Structure 1
Amino acid sequence: MKTRDEHRAKLREIADYAFDHGRTAMEQAGIPMEFAAWSRETKLDFLIKCQDGFKLAQKLLIEEILYYQELQREVETQLKSYKTQRLKKEVKEATGQKALIEHRLLTLSHIADSIAWQLLRGQLHLARRLVLPSATTKFLVNSNIEHAIAAADKINENPLDFALISDITGYVGIGDLLIKHLTSVGIMELKEGNINDQLTEFFAELERENKPLEEVDLSSRFDSKTVKQVERMQRQKTRMSQAVQVMNTDIGIDPGTQKPIVVSTPTTLTERYFDELIQLQKQLKTQSWAYLLVEDCLYIGAYRDEAIAKGPFLIELLVKEKTKEYILIDWTSIIEQVSQPLFAKPLEPDFIIDIMTGKVKVIMALDINGLIQRFNDVGLQTRWMTTKETAKVKANDAYTPKSLVVFHNQGILMTEPDSEKSVMGWGVISRILYDNIKPTNVALSFLTAQKPSGASLK
């Protein structure tokens, strides 16, 4: 397996292609980075250079993912054998190696996720519509990766287009390709083989005749195996249609949960605590640890070298002195989240890669009682619910129990001045910890949210 330094170097190479290729190309051409002063032609040239970087990064990502997935299969086979032979030492070593490989795969998919983030113009609600629950690892050799590469390469021949292969990302579960055209984003499902050609024509026939699938006697036209494939393709088509509808209208059915969704748009400017993170980054250059407190409820510590081992314990001790209700995270976990990715933050590339690879630890602890107080301070009435109220909410089909923030069987109720109520979910916590939005600004976003036209149809 590659050393940590080799892996870090490869991550930096891929990241430079993905997120710095356009700027570098313009500087080499002697064009100042003054976007507002550029002509339309210069802006298009910059877009082309950025997407050239995406295309180069994608090729390297595929190579690295295939390399680590092959290692993963080998280690899993060894681990199974060691467990059968009850070789404790070997099981422990193989388990550690497996965890390291899985983490490195996550760092690679995080770069792909960051590319997707740019294609979606940083619109988190659109990214979340592309997520589908998946219990299995996406092994590229088991997918139609060659077909996907060929299709993406064909699309990518157009300098103004870019096709991102979904299977190299961590969260894009709808369609095989996420395609960025000049003014729009689309989803493409790839099919190959005679049966798929027949079924593609079958669905085209239904569209021409404007005939719902439910009115067709599938068993009279196809065998049982093909019927299942028809139903699977129909689900895929429905999910893609639902995703596109929400992307365009902010209203519709969530393709992941199959529940109605209305995406409200805050009218207040988003305020993030990026300056504080930059401060930690600077301090860590001359010392092994740094610490700060955001809005009296969010504790952040950054650690390197010998301080890494003690970091999580120190932050937890600090927050425990104030409250029993808190959430503690290692910020490295951001590579598994659908959130604003690390590469979208104004941090130095090497610092980002240090976080991704564990050379630097950033630990965050959120005081929930302090958060409730901050929300109340800006006018969003927030309180702990009773256990009875919480049980009633969990039984409501409008909520997914696991998505709710619950301590001691008590959820958190937020009431806006117009008496509209909502229960705090983990999305609120994610916006603070992973999107780095200030807690009070999260509350203000609820107070100033504007629903899209037609939201009453929900």
Structure 2
Amino acid sequence: MLDSNFNKELKSIMNYILNYGINNLSYKINTYKDISKTDDNKTEFISKVHLGYMKAQNLIVQNLLLLGNKRVRIKKQIKVYRRERADKALIQKYENDLQIIIHKEKILRKLADTIAWTVLGNDITVVRRLYKHIPPVEIFNSNLNHDLEVVGKIFEEDNTHFPLVTDITSFIQVGDILVKDYFGHSAQLIELKEGSVNEEIEEIINDYFTNRCDRKLYYELSEKDTKFQKQFERYIKQQQKGLNTTEIINSGKGKDDVTGLNIRTVNDVFYTQHFDTVIKKMLEEVNKKNYSIRTIDDCLIVGVYNTSKIPIYRGFEAWKQSVEVDFPTINLVQFLDSPVAHPIFLHPFSIDDKIKLVNGDKMVLMSLDVRKWFEILESKDLEVKLLTKKQTARMNTVPDHSKAFEYNGQAIEVKFGGISQILFDGIFERMFNQFVRPSSMGDYLKQGLSSAKTYL
């Protein structure tokens, strides 16, 4: 699907993100314990990892700029051809080219997400906190040059701090730059402002924090016109939003900027069991034969296919029918479309296999025997109930991102110890994208419901 030049860029970016730190150390390592033997070893490792991230970030930015400008040109050309009633085949060609560009952009943003997830400790609660359900920023319309200048200065001053331009990610929609201090174990969201008005606002704010004089601040603002005062209010709100989110990320406590409520993140850790190494092995197996199939925990069926020559993946639907599975077919790469989904590039697959997956040369297809999964949940003393279609429709009269998951038009309720929970898409994303075993998902749900009693 993708051209060889783009695939070379992908390989370079992945190597910078995943391998650069290890491959460029001045000392040999046999195990990861060697890294933490001395403070110097650890500092060098972190510095090299961050340098790899910086190189990857630069390549991602360059490619997003090229693709973004190309996408705009193609969209304009399609409009012209439609207006002129050009040949349908020609219009279809341009529309196909447009879809390929959009696919490439999603891949690049997921590579930026790979860096972001890593520096944020793979914490999904933080990832969701940073996503505001708004369209991604066109980076060629943003203050990118200023952002990159600040990023360069931060890294030069201390390369154990990593600065990431948030506009190149799929999900970070607070602040312009995310800065992670590895040794301080803290993150910071920086809001950057340019222009003479913003510079004047910064001076007024800095003067206020120096002198703490409310009267002076009042008179300075009262002398300004309405436009300046509104800009001042916007500036303060944006800065406050970044500070509130930073506080929640670092301390687990703070005020939610949407609801205004005080929130607290529960730090309990539950270790789930995964089948990602099974998928890795299956991807290797299809190098010798065209397909590999497995059933995980007797309820989740997986088919991995080598599609570079023939569309053998079509056999997956026949397999589903033969075992009477009516759950939708899930293609692993569809999670490129989900901003907060775990990045595919963090899985333990080879870089070559990751490139083949996003190219469509290999496919991982999955589905779930829901009834058998319900039996697993019930064996763990969980009560499972399907809501009626009427109940589900009434409950799901909310924005798409807030809707409960529906199985044949019915929401799923799970209950334990008198506490109930409606299942949302995130539960299934963990199974189909993070490869959490269905049985372990049951343990996870049980633990969550048990813990909920403590905090109610």
* TM category, shorter: 0.7 to 0.9
- For 1:242-278, what per-residue CA distance to the aligned partner results, in whole angstroms no more than 9, with x for missing partners? 3223323435555567777654455442211112112
* Cα pair distance change 1:350/1:163, threshold 3 Å: same
Q: Encode CA deviations 1:409-434: one digit per residue, 9 max, x unaligned.
A: 421111122x1111101111111111
| Correspondence for 1:446 | 445
Distance 1:63 1:115 in 2: 16
Q: Deviations over 1:183-223 (max 9, x none)?
A: 21111110111111233345556767598xxx989995654
TM-score by length of 1: 0.87
Separation of aligned partners in 2, 1:84 and 1:99 = 20
Count of matched residue pairs: 445
- 8 Å CA contact 1:263, 1:451 repeated in 2: no
Offset of 1:36 from its aligned partner?
1.9
Q: Say if 1:333 and 1:320 are closer, same or farther in 2 by CA, change over 3 A.
A: same
| 1:174/1:240 contact within 8 Å kept | yes
* Counterparts in 2 of 1:224 and 1:394: CA distance versus 1, 3 Å: farther
**Alpha-carbon distance between aligned partners in 2 of 1:210 and 1:316, rounded to the nearest angstrom:** 71
Match of 2:176 in 1: 176
Secondary structure, in 3 states, of the residue corresponding to 1:327?
coil
**1:289–1:307: 8 Å Cα contact kept in structure 2?**
no
Tell me the CA shift for residue 378 of structure 1. Answer: 2.1
Which residue number in structure 1 is paired with residue 410 of structure 2?
410
Conserved in 2, the CA contact under 8 Å of 1:394 and 1:401? Answer: no
Shift of 1:283: 0.8
Deviation at 1:113, TM superposition (A): 0.6
TM-fit CA distance, 1:4: 1.4
Measured in 1, the distance between the counterparts of 2:224 and 2:322 equals 66
Q: Name the Cα RMSD after superposition.
A: 3.1
Report what 1:130 is aligned to: 130
2:121 is the alignment partner of 1:121: yes
How much identity, in percent, do the aligned residues show? 22
Residues in 2 aligned to 1:35 and 1:326: alpha-carbon distance in whole angstroms: 41
Q: Secondary structure at the match of 1:244?
A: helix
Shift of 1:291: 1.5
Amino acid at match of 1:142: N
SS at match of 1:103: helix
Cα distance, 1:224 vs structure 2 = 4.8
* Distance in 1 separating the partners of 2:14 and 2:244: 32
What does residue range 42-441 of structure 1 map to in structure 2 within 5 Å? Answer: 42-87=41-86, 88-135=88-135, 137-157=136-156, 158-181=158-181, 182-183=183-184, 184-203=186-205, 223-255=225-257, 263-265=265-267, 267-305=269-307, 309-311=311-313, 313-322=314-323, 325-337=326-338, 338-391=340-393, 393-394=395-396, 402-417=402-417, 419-441=418-440
- For 1:445 and 1:206, locate their aligned partners in 2 and report how far apart those are by CA, in whole Å: 49
**What is the TM-score of this pair, normalised by structure 2?**
0.88
Q: Which ranges of structure 1 fall in alignment gaps of 5 or more residues? A: none
* AA partner of residue 423 (structure 1): I
Once the 2 structures are TM-superposed, how far is the Cα of residue 155 of structure 1 from its aligned partner? 0.3
CA distance in 2, matches of 1:17, 1:260: 39
Instruction: Kindly state the Cα deviation for residue 163 of structure 1 after the two structures are TM-superposed.
Output: 0.5
Q: Distance in 2 between matches of 1:453 and 1:21?
A: 45
Tell me, in whole angstroms, the C-alpha distance in 2 between the residues paired with 1:17 and 1:10: 11
Q: 1:36 to 1:123 in 2, by over 3 A?
A: same
